Amino acid sequence: MFKHVKPAHLVFAVALLAGAAPASAADKAVMMPVDQALQTQAAREALDGSVAFYFGDTPHPPVVESFGEFVTNKKTNAFGKSDAATCQHVVLSNFIAFQNRAKELGGNAVINITSYFKQKEVKDNSRYECNIGFLMSGVALKGDVVKLAE
């Protein structure tokens, strides 16, 4: 049936089709609630409460010391998982990175948190942007690591 097709052309066609499917399948950006991600059992186990998270321009106590801006960018396997599950998992990885960085620097909060996927800032006081693809989901966040007055 394919006697006149050169093997190199067949390999190229198969590779082209295989590569095109995941790129076009369900790539989307969704806004997800922060509270739901922070209330999961995994979040309760991973976040020790020593660092507070303030999204957007949410009010917070006065800043005593600032340690600079920090960007997190995490990805996770999304294949066969619900949007909510994959987004909650990957945003938790970002929170853990924020917590570790704040503790390392002597901070107790991350303020002014915004979504920062592909360096595009999306500010929201209660939601983060989760980018969901066929195989991977990703969340990038940017925030200021600080020590707040108690």
Could you report the per-residue pLDDT of 116-128, keeping only the tens digit for each? 999 999 999 999 9
| Band of residue 89 on the pLDDT scale cut at 50, 70, 90 | very high
pLDDT tens, position by position, 38-71: 999 999 999 999 999 999 999 999 999 999 999 9
Cα(83)–Cα(7) distance, rounded to whole angstroms?
A: 39
Residue, of 7 and 84, whose pLDDT is higher: 84
Report DSSP letters for 70-84, one per residue: EEEEEEEE-TTS-HH
Closest residue by Cα to residue 112 from 67, 72, 56: 56
Cα(118)–Cα(100) distance, rounded to whole angstroms?
A: 23
Q: Residue 52 in contact with residue 108, Cβ under 8 Å?
A: yes
pLDDT at 16 over 90: no
Cα(128)–Cα(87) distance, rounded to whole angstroms?
A: 9
Neighbours of 68 (CB within 10 A): 10
Q: What is the set of domains in the chain, with CATH numbers?
A: 26-148 (3.30.110.70)
Q: What is the pTM of this model?
A: 0.81
The residue count of the chain comes to 150
Rounded CA Rg of the chain: 20
Q: Residue 82 in contact with residue 129, Cβ under 8 Å?
A: no
